Amino acid sequence: MPAKNRILVTGGAGFIGSHLIDRLLEKENKVVVFDNLSSGKMEFVEQHLKNPDFSFVKGDLLNPEAIERVCKDADMVYHVAANPDVKLGASDTKVHLDQNILATYNLLEAMRKGNAKRIAFTSTSTIYGEASIMPTPENYGPLIPISLYGASKLACEALITSYSHTFDMQAWIFRFANIVGPRSTHGITVDFIKKLKENPLKLEILGDGKQEKSYLHVSECVNAILFAIEKSKQEVNIFNIGSEDTISATGIGKVIVEEMGISNVEFTYTGGSRGWKGDVPRMRLDIEKLKSMGWKPAYTSEKSIRDTTKALISEN
Ligand code: NAD
């Protein structure tokens, strides 16, 4: 029997990471999750604890020795760990520098020293900034992020591509639209459900509610990642992953209100075209590159939001 692939997933106890490991363990893989549980949860991975092909290491990417121990000879590293809170950069200017850039540097160094050669990275649409071309293709430029989060993820991409070239590594960079689904712990759907549970009569929406963005279900996101890795063989492989349409912030509010079975909710707006400093009001990614290879999303943004709302209501 061929040896199983040894796969390391940083951030594997988080929202997207835990769905990824569910899928990786369905195949012939040995999976190690490395996570500091800052936003990840043991309950997202505990169904695998008895699986001999799964192990969980509680550790921090800011501790180089800890990440070096698990990186050695990994056949593949999925680098999912990050601080994904876009808003936070406006009040804490160091968090994304540490949790995203420095953490990624520590991981790449551990890979270099441990002879791990393949990395997949979860990047973001925010690296494009306020793109003038919509939907935005992978070769859009110049890249002018407007949030410290977007800047940090762009810096991570640059580190990854230059390590790939310098140290003969291979990289897959995935620029996600907004990802939603069961186990979501942050983002607009989570926020709106929380607000409406606290007060079912009123929903405060940040900005003017007209922000139009693409939302993709996490199951489709994981499918796209695994599909792209299987089908692409360049030294650096960059893919947008998103849905083919958008939904507005107000539209999301309406879907959630419907799914929660409440009525007569007053929508109020904080005003302005963006929800917060660093918010990109319009986002849709061009996914022709993945489509031309044979992958396309089945769900609309609205369907993904609707399914997520149902799942989150039943989770709590
Ligand atoms: P998440 O917060 O649920 O997952 C991040 C995981 O990383 C958590 O389990 C957390 O405990 C872990 N982690 C954070 N800092 C760490 C550190 N220093 N050491 C070890 N572990 C650490 O977030 P998510 O939504 O699942 O996002 C996953 C990835 O996808 C992130 O890289 C994020 O930037 C990217 N992304 C997410 C979205 C989205 O809509 N959710 C969109 C674009 C990109």
**pLDDT tens digits, residue range 265-307?**
999 999 999 999 999 999 999 999 999 999 999 999 999 999 9
In a domain, 292, yes or no: no
Same domain, 67 and 138: yes
User: Using CB atoms within 10 A of its CB, is residue 266 exposed (0-12), middle (13-18) or buried (19+)?
Assistant: exposed
Does an H or E element contain 222, and which? helix 218-231
Query: Which residue's CA is the closest to the ligand 1 atom numbered 4?
Result: 14
Q: Which residues pair with 78 in a beta bridge?
A: 9, 120
Total count of residues recorded for the chain: 316
Indicate whether 170 belongs to any domain: yes
- pLDDT tops 90 at residue 195: yes
Report residues whose beta carbon is within 6 angstroms of any ligand 1 atom: 10-11, 13-17, 35-40, 60-62, 80-84, 99, 103, 122, 124, 176, 178-179, 185, 187
Q: What is the mean pLDDT of residues 86-114?
A: 97
Peptide bond preceding 281 in cis form (omega within 30 of 0): no
Q: How far is the CA of 122 from the centre of ligand 1 (A)?
A: 8
For the segment 128-162, what is each residue's pLDDT rounded down to a tens digit? 999 999 999 999 999 999 999 999 999 999 999 99
pLDDT at 3 over 90: no
Instruction: Give the tens place of pLDDT for each residue, 44-83.
Output: 999 999 999 999 999 999 999 999 999 988 999 999 999 9
- Answer yes or no: is 132 within a domain: yes
By residue range, what is the domain housing residue 127?
A: 6-179+216-241
Torsion of CA 254, 146, 96, 109, to 10 degrees: 120
196 and 253 share a domain? yes
Query: Is the pLDDT score of 316 beyond 80?
Result: no
Which of 8, 10, 15, 22 to probe ligand 1 with, by most ligand atoms within 8 A of CB?
Answer: 15
Q: What's the total number of domains in the chain?
A: 2
Ligand 1 atom nearest 84 alpha carbon: 34
User: Per the domain annotation, does 118 fall within a domain?
Assistant: yes
Query: Which pLDDT band, with edges at 50, 70 and 90, does 103 fall under?
Result: very high
* Amino acid 278: pLDDT: 92
Bond before 135 cis per omega within 30 degrees: yes
1 pLDDT exceeds 90?
A: no
